[in-house]
Structure 1
Amino acid sequence: MSVATLAAGPRVTVDLGAVAGNTRRLAARARGELMAVVKADGFGHGALGVARTALGAGAAWLGVTGVGEALDLRANGLTAPILSWLNPLGADFDAAVRHRIDLAVPSLTHLAVLPPGARVHLQLDTGMAREGASLDEWAALCRAAFTAEQSGRVVVTGIMSHLAGPDTATATARFREGIAVAFAAGLRPRLCHLAATAATLTRPETHFDLVRTGAGLVGIDPSGGTTLRGAMTLTAPVVEVRRVAAGTPVGYDHTWRAARDTHLALLPLGYADGLPRGAGPRAEVLLGGRRCRVAGRISMDQTVVETGPGVRPGDTATVFGPGGDGEPTVADWATWAGTLPHEIVTGLGARPHRHVIGGN
């Protein structure tokens, strides 16, 4: 057995050049303005870098969930319009108003607690039973918002909703109905927006005045029909290598045994770093120029792969990347784990060293 130094541990490389290219592709598809959604730390890629890159590549707006995320962007000098759409009643709405952050309003209760000067996007539920006012509540919310706007307390900037999936026709019809109700109440919002990444790419009838793209910025295409480029690569060094005999068990519970005399390599990352434990029986990495299957269970801090001969301590395994060199992609890992690529990139832990390359 040989043991390599851990000085150069697992590494996440974020390619902002890929973010820029993806933003340009998405902006070219959009019929209206493009909002770069950088929630969850830019889908795990770094909110500030993704935001700056997307704005430089054609985005006009930024989108986040909580007010705190928006304030962080403002504190780092970003002046573009920002929308925050998921806030409890006790959020710092005063700070949002001071820093020119637009706020989604899903209910009469939320409208009532906003301070004077708030810029709002009324939020309609078109079929997810999640955030947003139901169709039964919508007319009352629109009337109350009109009254608040007439008194000078708020400015209704937009109307928004969210699509539940690929069947967009029903939600789009409900959204159009909601817009009509808002106009009948006297409102004249500048922006109506419904589409996220998948609909931006495939459903132009859902675009309205603005589209919201987040996953697509970093190369995740829920529609599966375009050539967006993955912006994240995860690598790890080989710590140990060993030759084992046929029948050798590996890992907890001995769920894997060598089918033949073979070679194993140990990588210093596991489910605490974001590798989904359930992907183990199917997952692969690129090592030594070939795909190598995970052997046994993915542990908290380590993963074993079957390599064949020729791998040495200190060699680098590519766990996932854009896929251009034959490495697995984030989408591959999501398939192996039975989840979404979004969960893979947002679930990476803090231990891998972060490195950013590229730009506009």
Structure 2
Amino acid sequence: MSRLTVARIDLEALKRNYQRARTLAGPGQAMAVVKADGYGHGIEAVAGALAPYASRFAVACIEEAVAIRGCGHRQTVALLQGAHEPGDLAICQQEGFEPVLHNHQQVSWLADDRAPAFWIKVNTGMNRLGFRPEELPAVMAGLEDSGRRPQALGFVTHFACADDLDSDMTGLQTRLFEDAVAPWPALMRSVGNSAAHFRPEQPLYEWSRPGIMLYGGSPMLDKTGPELGLSPVMTLQAPLITTRVVRAGESVGYGASWTAEQDTRMGMVAIGYGDGYPRHAGTGTPAAVGGRRIRLIGRVSMDMLAVDLSNAPDAREGDMVELWGSTVSVDEVATCAGTIGYELLTGVTSRVPRVHE
């Protein structure tokens, strides 16, 4: 019999979150970002659930776009990292993929007759990918000279600090972007990551790019997904496999990092960092059993972790423990582990089956 540890994926919650993104996008449209295996939720199931609603998907690389086609979905798919080699462009043209071109080498590959429609990345301050604003006139002139200008769909940029409402950087990047692309008003624009949807008065233009918000995780500092009106999509669960009373003065787990101050009923849960649960989530990290919040104690092991059952006196072996989901948000766990919900959702390993509901 298989272990009962599981990630339950609520596809109706996914759809609700996408509809919220569309509403927040205002007059624009929202391309659903499903990269990294649908943020760990299963790209096939995620794309299938959103296909009736999203006319564009966005992924990081061509392998992810091919996976979407393999499921029979015919939406256009934007490749946020663009092409990695010249041959990718022929596949893009054939399959209706839209690479986001961010350097001169990628633009030079368009000389092939089988070049697809594409986006141009503008570097407004993130300084990862893209052409600086002052480079755009030469890039666009080169496209005109080569006859590729009609295949340019529009411009993309990415915000560095949209999650921080106290930062002025997003406003600065927005102004740089608007000024940079103003000479080509007929082309589309896309700037809005998930966080940008929650910034008052932030323009999202023709296409926003919601990612983490689709899965119920928060893109904003100091806010959880539920606090932003988002529904958790993944519920990570594992069973209690034993319970015991740890006597006052006894410790639990590697390093004896937690010692009971009084007799404490505790339980062992069949999940650990080998399953993608964060090892750095220490004592006090919330979990839940039977809808009641409990806490982790001691260090997370590869295959198990310990919980304090003082707040759930009726919990027994076989009961399912929620590591994150509707009672405990993934963002809370991420904060306790010193990371972000994105990493936790995408880090759940293949040892944990996804059950799509």
Farther off after superposition, 307-316 or 237-246: 307-316
| Corresponding position: 1:33 with 2:33 | no
- Paired AA for residue 208 in structure 1: Y
Q: Which amino acid aligns with 1:134?
A: R
Partner of 2:354: 354
- Report the 3-state secondary structure (helix = DSSP H, G, I; strand = E; otherwise coil) of the residue aligned with 1:13: strand
Q: Which runs of 4+ in 1 moved over 6 A?
A: none
Structure 2 counterpart of 1:222, one-letter code:
P
SS at match of 2:277: coil
**Equivalent position amino acid for 1:320 in 2:** W
Deviation sequence 1:159-208 (CA, Å, 0-9, x none): 1111111342101101111112446xxxx42x211111121233454211
Matched, 1:197 2:199: no
Q: What residue in structure 2 maps to residue 234 of structure 1?
A: 236
Cα shift readout 1:22-59 (whole Å, capped 9, x = no counterpart): 11111112121110010011111111222232232x32
Structure 1 position 162 matched with structure 2 position 158: yes
Name which of 45, 50, 59 aligns with 1:49: 45
Distance in 2 of aligned mates of 1:129 and 1:74: 31
SS of match in other structure, 1:238: strand
- Of residues 246, 249, 252, the one that matches 1:250 is 252
How far does the alpha carbon of each residue in 1:267-307 deviate from its partner, in whole angstroms, 9 at most, with x for none? Answer: 11111111111111231211244322211100111101121
Q: Distance between the aligned counterparts of 1:307 and 1:21, measured in 2?
A: 34
Q: CA RMSD in A?
A: 1.9
User: Mind listing any 5+ residue stretches in structure 1 that lack a counterpart?
Assistant: 1-5
SS at match of 2:284: coil
Contact 1:160 1:192 in 2 (8 A): yes
* Greater relative CO, 1 or 2 (CA 8 Å, sep 6+): 1
2:280 maps to a residue whose letter is G
1:318-333 counterparts in 2 under 5 A?
Answer: 318-322=322-326, 327-333=327-333
Quick check: 1:14 aligned with 2:9?
yes
Identity percentage of aligned residues: 30
Per-residue deviation, 1:230: 0.8
Instruction: Give the residue type in structure 2 aligned to 1:217.
Output: L
Contact 1:196–1:214 under 8 Å retained in 2:
yes
Matching of residue 315 in structure 1 with residue 319 in structure 2: yes
Give the equivalent residue in structure 1 for 2:68: 73
Q: Helix, strand or coil: the match of 2:37? A: helix
Which of 257, 263, 272 does residue 265 from structure 2 map onto?
263
Give distance in 2, aligned partners of 1:33 and 1:106: 23
Q: How do 1:129-168 residues align onto structure 2 when only pairs under 5 Å count?
A: 129-148=127-146, 151-152=147-148, 155-166=151-162, 167=168, 168=170
Residues 85 and 342 of structure 1: CA distance in aligned 2, closer, same or farther (over 3 Å): same
Contact 1:89 1:113 in 2 (8 A): no
Q: Quote the residue 2:165 is aligned against.
A: none
Equivalent residue, structure 1, for 2:213: 216
Map 1:265-344 to 2 at 5 A.
Answer: 265-308=267-310, 309-322=313-326, 327-344=327-344
Distance in 1 (CA, whole Å) between partners of 2:200 and 2:124 is: 16
Q: Is the partner of 1:266 in helix, strand or coil?
A: strand
Whole-angstrom distance in 2 between the partners of 1:7 and 1:159? 49
TM-score, normalised by the number of residues in structure 1: 0.89
Q: How far apart in 1 are the matches of 2:247 and 2:207? A: 60
Provide the aligned length of Structure 1 versus Structure 2. 340
User: Which runs of 5 or more residues in structure 2 are unaligned?
Assistant: 163-167
